[in-house]
Amino acid sequence: MVNEIRKDYLLERYSIIATNRLKRPKDFRPVKTREKKIKCPFCPGNEDMTPPTIFKINGKRGWDIRVIENKFPALSKKANYRKKLDGFTNCFTGVGHHEVVVESPSHSKRLDQFSVKKIKQIVDVYQQRFVVLSKDKNVRFVAIFRNHGKAAGNSLSHPHSQIIATPFVPELIAREMNASSKYRRRNRKCIFCDIVKKERRSKRFVYENKSFLAICPFASIVPYETWIITKRHVKNIAGLKEQEKTDLADALKAVLVKMNKQITNIPYNYYIHQAPLNSKNNYHMHLEILPVLTVWAGFEKCTGVYINPVSPEIAAKELRSA
């Protein structure tokens, strides 16, 4: 099969699907690394090692989920907002929020090993924090993301995710929102609603339930990249209903279980792409999972074009069968 250059559904971003470099799951086995035995600040009993609890969900034996400020925040709520705009070296104070969602008292459990009920609790916390942080007058975007594995930038193995609220809309999100609006004006419908409609019958289909569809996107930039998209048009996590939050938890668990059956303890990043709370842009929220199995080298960094050795059709087939 000849290699293909594929364009992203929305962006002017291209991937080279390099099937002549085809790799199988066994080729991606992560290198096993021993975790240094340290006193974990996220484990129960060590709460004095972290900033105070901002929000928590209690269980039978103490807290089940705990939200804290990051000890070394990228942005700080304590900063006074000031800006310097001279048309050349524009900058403003690093004001915002940087929170950590400690997802479980258990130190060693992976997210795919949690129950759907437990993951739904985590989604509940995401929703609650999104709404609260969005009410800050300085906040324009709330990023919800998770790093799993050292290759994905995770510094502590205790299960946790992060939330960063920024005083600007990040460039990638702005580009997606603008491209989505342009598609809507041109076609009088939503690009993501069209993706759901067309891809659920394609070779890139992975999983679905009542509320969500999981696919390997057409122009995947990494092997086994998977998107989990709401079937109902919802612009951000604040709009999810109770059953939809359960279904998001179900879809997330299902996809991560499938990935881990292919590659044990697969390193990945996931993040939610969504519109700001009070945005007039009628964007369509979705969660993207990017396994970290390849290295972006000189070509990718030079051009912004990604070489992917596993086609999304093959990746989806392997995930469906897992």
pLDDT tens readout for residues 105-150: 999 999 999 999 999 999 999 999 999 999 999 999 999 999 999 9
Over range 180-186, report the average pLDDT: 96
Q: Does residue 20 or residue 172 have the better pLDDT? A: 172
For residue 143, being part of any structural domain is answered with: yes
Over range 237-252, report the average pLDDT: 98
Q: CA–CA separation, 36 vs 133, rounded Å?
A: 34
Q: Is the pLDDT of residue 253 over 90?
A: yes
Please give the span between the terminal C-alpha atoms of the chain, in angstroms, as a whole number: 25
Token pair for 97: 């929020």
Place of tokens 């951000």: 236
For residue 31, being part of any structural domain is answered with: no
Domain that holds residue 185: 4-25+38-321
> What's the confidence (pLDDT) of residue 42?
97
Q: Considering the chain, what percentage of its residues have pLDDT values greater than 90?
A: 83
Residues ≥6 apart with Cβ < 8 Å to 4: 16, 17, 19
For residue 153, being part of any structural domain is answered with: yes
Token pair for 121: 């609790």
Over range 297-315, report the average pLDDT: 96
For residue 178, being part of any structural domain is answered with: yes
- The DSSP element (H or E) to which 228 belongs, if any, is strand 226-230
Average pLDDT of the chain, as a whole number = 94
CB 267 within 8 A of CB 292: yes
> What's the confidence (pLDDT) of residue 61?
87
> What's the confidence (pLDDT) of residue 279?
87
> What's the confidence (pLDDT) of residue 28?
73
Q: Is the pLDDT of residue 286 over 70?
A: yes
Residues tagged active-site:
160
> What's the confidence (pLDDT) of residue 85?
84
Residues ≥6 apart with Cβ < 8 Å to 216: 204, 206, 224, 225, 226, 227, 312, 313, 315, 316, 319
> What's the confidence (pLDDT) of residue 87?
82
CB 116 within 8 A of CB 246: yes
From 9-23, 38-52, 218-232, 300-314, the region with the lowest mean pLDDT: 9-23
Q: Is the pLDDT of residue 24 over 70?
A: no
Q: Does residue 189 or residue 278 have the better pLDDT? A: 189
Count CA atoms within 13 Å of residue 218 on its CB side: 16
- Provide φ and ψ at 186, rounded to 5°: -75, -40
> What's the confidence (pLDDT) of residue 25?
66
**Residue 252, domain CATH:** 3.30.428.10
Place of tokens 């290295």: 295
Count of domains forming the chain: 1
CB 273 within 8 A of CB 191: no
For residue 265, being part of any structural domain is answered with: yes
For residue 149, being part of any structural domain is answered with: yes
pTM for this model (two decimals): 0.95
- State pLDDT tens for residues 43-98: 999 999 999 999 999 988 899 999 999 999 999 988 777 888 888 888 988 999 99
Q: Does residue 123 or residue 34 have the better pLDDT? A: 123
Where residue 31 falls among pLDDT bands split at 50, 70, 90?
Answer: low
β-sheet bridge partners, residue 53: 68
For residue 32, being part of any structural domain is answered with: no
Where residue 230 falls among pLDDT bands split at 50, 70, 90?
Answer: very high
Q: Does residue 105 or residue 2 have the better pLDDT? A: 105
Strand ranges across the sheet with 306-308: 4-7, 14-17, 306-308
Where residue 35 falls among pLDDT bands split at 50, 70, 90?
Answer: low
With 0-12 CB in 10 A as exposed, 13-18 as middle and 19+ as buried, what is 184? middle
Residues ≥6 apart with Cβ < 8 Å to 186: none
> What's the confidence (pLDDT) of residue 141?
97
Q: CA–CA separation, 270 vs 276, rounded Å?
A: 18
Over range 256-281, report the average pLDDT: 94
> What's the confidence (pLDDT) of residue 22?
66
- No. of H helices and E strands in the chain? 6, 15
> What's the confidence (pLDDT) of residue 112?
97
Give how far the C-alpha of residue 112 lies from the chain's centroid of Cα atoms, to the nearest Å.
15
For residue 108, being part of any structural domain is answered with: yes
> What's the confidence (pLDDT) of residue 34?
66
CB 141 within 8 A of CB 166: yes
